[in-house]
Amino acid sequence: MASLTLGPLFFHWKPEQRRDFYYRIADEAPVDVVYLGEAVCSRRETFYMDDLPLITERLRAAGKQVVLSTLALITSETEMQDIRDRCAGEVMLEANDVTCISMLEGQPHVTGPFINVFNEATLDFLVGKGAVRVNMPMELSAEAIAILAAHNSVETEAFVFGRQPLSISMRCYHARAYGLHKDGCQFVCELDPDGLAADQLDGNKLLVVNGTQTMSHGYAVLLDELAGMQQAGVTHFRLSPQRTDMVKVAEIYRGVLDGAREPGEATLALSQLVGPVPFVNGFVRGREGMAWVEGAE
């Protein structure tokens, strides 16, 4: 059976909000794997690290696998030492930076969607380093995912719901938007728990700024594509936490993966759930990322 996963929370939520979110995921969401940890900005980690053991215990008690995600951009010796410490821990890690991959060599781990895997040689290299599950990059088409999944000798994971993580920068756009510097950001990203919209000159929404991260404004919604991905050999399907009812989102995707719901009906139900945020699926259809193509290929 296909596995449904919940990726790391990219946004900066208050500790109690984050804790309650994961407790509900543990108790109610039909997901098999939950990724915890901070992938965007190491400065945020201190706000919820005290709760991490309790959240991990709650999720494991509910029968869910827990994976600890690492930063998508490692920029200091302190961050490198944090990774070394985690490599020695008991929780499996998701490597989102090649520095982490080198530290994990020979140790079972997951490679995240921030690691560029565009050909079979790269895939073989990662598996040779100890990867037991490889995430496909956001930009890949369905055809490219199918080729890599067929070649892959371990588990393959694809991003199927949520704002698409597009890039990470050394600079913090979020702080700058509030007239602050990165080192004195005052954690203003907490003021925008769904990200800070970046509009085009004509006023249309295009991107979302989240700390040092740039994301798509629209939600990637791959429901029509699930059956084809399963047939191609994709084993894990990732939902990214958003400010909507993620338990219901997981139920919708679980129903389609299990063949209990039609993709068209599920897409309509999802649109009613998430409200005005547009859907996108351009990358997987071989189009520009912000495009939306209805129906199965």
Q: What is the pLDDT of residues 8-64, one digit of tens each?
A: 999 999 999 999 999 999 999 999 999 999 999 988 888 888 899 999 999 999 999
pLDDT at 179: 92
Q: Is the pLDDT score of 255 beyond 80?
A: yes
Helix (H) or strand (E) holding 264: helix 263-274
Using DSSP, state whether 82 is helix, strand or coil.
helix
- CB count in 10 Å sphere of residue 76: 9
- Nearest Cα neighbor of 36 from 63, 18, 16, 17 is 18
Could you tell me the domains of the chain? Answer: 3-165+219-277 (3.20.20.70)
Q: What is the pTM of this model?
A: 0.96
Please list the helix, strand and coil fractions of the chain in percent, rounded to the nearest 5, in that order: 40, 20, 40
Q: Is the pLDDT score of 207 beyond 90?
A: yes
How far apart are alpha carbons 251 and 270 in whole angstroms?
10
Range scoring the smallest mean pLDDT among 4-13, 112-121, 193-202: 193-202
The CA angle 44-156-9, to the nearest 5 degrees, is 20
Q: Is the pLDDT score of 121 beyond 70?
A: yes
Residue that the structure tokens 């007239």 belong to = 179
Q: Quick one: how many helices (H) and strands (E) in the chain? A: 10, 12
Is 87 in contact with 116 (CB distance < 8 Å)? Answer: no
At residue 211 the predicted structure's pLDDT band, cuts being 50, 70 and 90, is very high
Residue that the structure tokens 């994971």 belong to = 157
pLDDT at 56: 96
